[in-house]
Amino acid sequence: MALISLALRHAKTYWVFIVFVLVLQLLSTMALLWLPSLNAQIIDRGIALGDTDFIWRTGGIMLLASFGQLAVAVAAVYFGARTAMGFGRDLRREVYRKVDSLATLEATKFGAGTLITRGTNDVQQIQMLVLMTLNFMVSAPIMMIGGIIMALREDAGLSWLVWVSVSVLAVIVGFLVWALLPLFRVMQDKVDAINNVLREQIMGIRVVRAFVREPFETDRYGVANREITDVSVKVGNIFVLMFPVIMMVLHLATGAVLWFGGYRVADGDIQVGSLTAFLQYLMQILMAVMMGVFMTMMIPRAVVCAERIRELLDTKSTLSFPEAATLETPEAGRVVFENVTFGFPGAEKPVIKNVSFAAEPGKTTAIIGSTGAGKTVLLNLALRLYDPQQGSITVDGAPVSELTRDQLADTLSLVPQRPYMFSGTIGSNLRFGRTAATDEELWEALRVAQGEDFVRERELGLDEPVSQGGTSVSGGQRQRLSIARALVSKPKVYLFDDSFSALDVATDARLRAALPSATQGATTIIVAQRVSTITDADQILVIEGGEIVGRGTHDELLGSNEVYQEIVRSQLEQAEADDDQERIAFDSSAGAATAAAYGAKREVE
Ligand code: DCP
Ligand code: MG
């Protein structure tokens, strides 16, 4: 049913083509049905009576009919193919748009592997079926019914042969198709499985190598591969049966026609020409049955694919974005969280609990907390990767849920914890948020992000190719490029998710010194691991288990907040343990304060 509804929806676009193809197929089939009877006339009238004129005339007509049929058939196939490919393209586009609109949550639920299979292989299966339908849907039934009528006109006495052979063929083939059906469903799932394993392994290849897990991963792939092989072999076995069986029925039918027909010719019931025509019609009928079978064989697989595509298309994105802008795009970028609570679907406890804060334009708001505290989730909520269950998130008073995607993208820019680069060049990646940016602007952003030097060192500079995922640059370089990318897009709100962790302390300091002039009055929210990164922030939020357990400036928190003191102390101890020398370098500005706090904490103990 999914198949029919998908097909009908798209048939609207192509109905002119479809009708045209069907008419062409009709003409072609009628020509094919006409030819054997002309042939019979040549034999029975022309040859039997020695009428050469008649032979020439009828032969000429047959020649014309053949060429006409050829031309019409070619045209039908050509337009049929165009229609089917166009249909495939539309469906692929629809799937792509859907995937694009899915919230991260739903996309993760499906998994990348199956989303890719559905958008490619599944669509292709349906596209194939559409092509076959256009080619055979009209011609097969007409050929069959027309063939039967014509055959009976030639010799009604042999009609039982038609019924017997058609029924035998239909029963056998029907049984085989019935056996194939469940296998096709399994097959498509296995294609998903193998895609998933392969994808994961390519993505995680470094880890696999590092842990020498190749044998294990190879086994995993082996299992998936064997499973798909097993199913394919089963399908293959059935196919292997199918063709000999069909051929056998065809040959038996031919033999029977000649055998029984021979007697009838000998008895003078029919003429030789009629018998020849009858044989040709029977072949056409059985061919039509075979074409029908090919189609029915494709249907089960296409139905499975259609259901899978339907399932995807029917998935309502939990996030809907307004189509047209109803609110002004925020100008200042004041981000306000009010009593925000968020939990992942199915999880017992919320990950963010009752969080309220305001991040002011021109100021830096820092978020610090242990790993798993909910810092990344908090930033993702502002970006609207998820919607909170309770509370509101606004920018300049406008709820983020009422801003269009473009407005959101113009307003907020995220430097993710794990930066991602797209295949292309350094320049194309930096222009991701604003394609119109000039080279000069890119260099300026790189300068601020402390990435200028290493890009200058590259032979091609901004045109240096970057591989998918950014694996051709180092982690720290990727992080700097990602920071530069955010700077290029010039948003009102910058969200840095632990973006300075891969930088050494000195570079970190230089970057933070350069940032304020580059971000020019924008709101900056920084998630950080190192206390030294955020000592001069206007406001620091200490977050623990999804809750804000402290807020204030560095000095305020040092005096009053135990969690913060604990973080500072542990980092200082770490630095001390590393090396006294390094402790001095730990952070020139925060060092004194940190040491003081450490002393204070010691006194308390
Ligand atoms: N979480 C989840 N499902 C996700 C993402 C996160 O269940 N798709 C959970 C795991 C964590 C909690 O949410 O317990 C908070 O995750 P965060 O990514 O927000 O944690 P942090 O960013 O604070 O940690 P880190 O400092 O390690 O980046
Ligand atoms: Mg995080």
Domains and CATH numbers, the chain: 2-313 (1.20.1560.10), 335-598 (3.40.50.300)
Residue 369 sits at φ, ψ, to 5 deg, of 170, 165
pLDDT score, position 339 = 95
Distance 194 CA to ligand 2 centre (A): 30
Answer yes or no: is the C-beta of 348 below 6 A from any ligand 1 atom. no
Instruction: Tell me how far the alpha carbon of residue 496 lies from the centroid of ligand 2, in angstroms.
Output: 10
C-beta of 372 in contact with ligand 1 (< 6 A) = yes
Q: Name the amino acid, one letter, at 519.
A: T
CA distance 525 to 498: 10
344 within ligand 1 shell (Cβ under 6 A): yes
If one compares 153 and 12, the residue with the highest pLDDT of the two is: 153
pLDDT of res. 579: 55
For residue 377, give the ligand nearest its CA.
1
Highest mean pLDDT among 69-73, 179-183, 556-560: 69-73
Q: Please tell me the distance between residue 386's alpha carbon and the centre of ligand 1 in angstroms.
A: 13
Task: Return the residue whose CA atom lies nearest to atom 14 of ligand 1.
Answer: 372
**373 Cα nearest atom in ligand 1:** 23
Is the pLDDT at 586 greater than 60, yes or no?
no
Q: How far apart are CA 320 and CA 387, in angstroms?
A: 10
Nearest atom (ligand 1) to Cα of 543: 23
What pLDDT score does 217 carry?
A: 81
Tell which atom from ligand 1 comes closest to the C-alpha of 370: 26
Ligand at minimal distance from the CA of 385 is 1
- pTM over the 0.85 mark: no
Average pLDDT, the chain: 86
pLDDT for position 603: 38
**Beta carbons of 47 and 120 less than 8 angstroms apart:** no
Mind listing the pLDDT tens digit for each residue in 512-537? 888 888 888 899 999 988 888 888 89
Which residues on adjacent β-strands are paired with residue 132?
none
Q: Contact 537/359 with Cβ under 8 angstroms?
A: no
The residues, ordered by sequence, that sit 6+ positions from 246 with a Cβ below 8 Å of its Cβ are: 169, 172, 173, 286, 290, 293
| Atom number of ligand 1 nearest to Cα 377 | 19
Whether residue 601 is predicted with pLDDT greater than 70 in this model: the reply is no
Whether the pLDDT of residue 191 is over 70: the answer is yes
Q: Compute CA distances 164 → 158, 171, 248, 257, 384, whole Å.
A: 11, 11, 14, 12, 66
Mean pLDDT of 459-472: 84
Q: In 3D, which of 379, 369, 397 has the Cα closest to residue 342?
A: 379
With a CB cutoff of 8 Å and minimum separation 6, the contacts of 144 are 166, 285, 288, 289, 292
Q: Is the pLDDT of residue 599 over 80?
A: no
Taking Cα atoms as reference points, which of 490, 475, 412 lies closest to residue 445?
490
- For a ligand 1 pocket test, name from 352, 353, 376 the mutation site with the most ligand atoms within 8 angstroms of its C-beta: 376
By three-state DSSP, how is residue 396 classified? coil
Which pLDDT score is estimated for 132? 87
What is residue 589's predicted lDDT score, i.e. its pLDDT? Answer: 44
Structure tokens belonging to residue 230: 């097993």
Atom 3 of ligand 1: nearest residue by CA position: 344
Task: Please determine, for residue 419, whether its predicted confidence score (pLDDT) is greater than 50.
Answer: yes
Side-chain-side CA neighbours of 230 within 13 Å: the count stands at 8
Rounded distance from Cα 352 to ligand 1 centre (Å): 10
pLDDT confidence tier of residue 595, bands split at 50, 70 and 90: very low
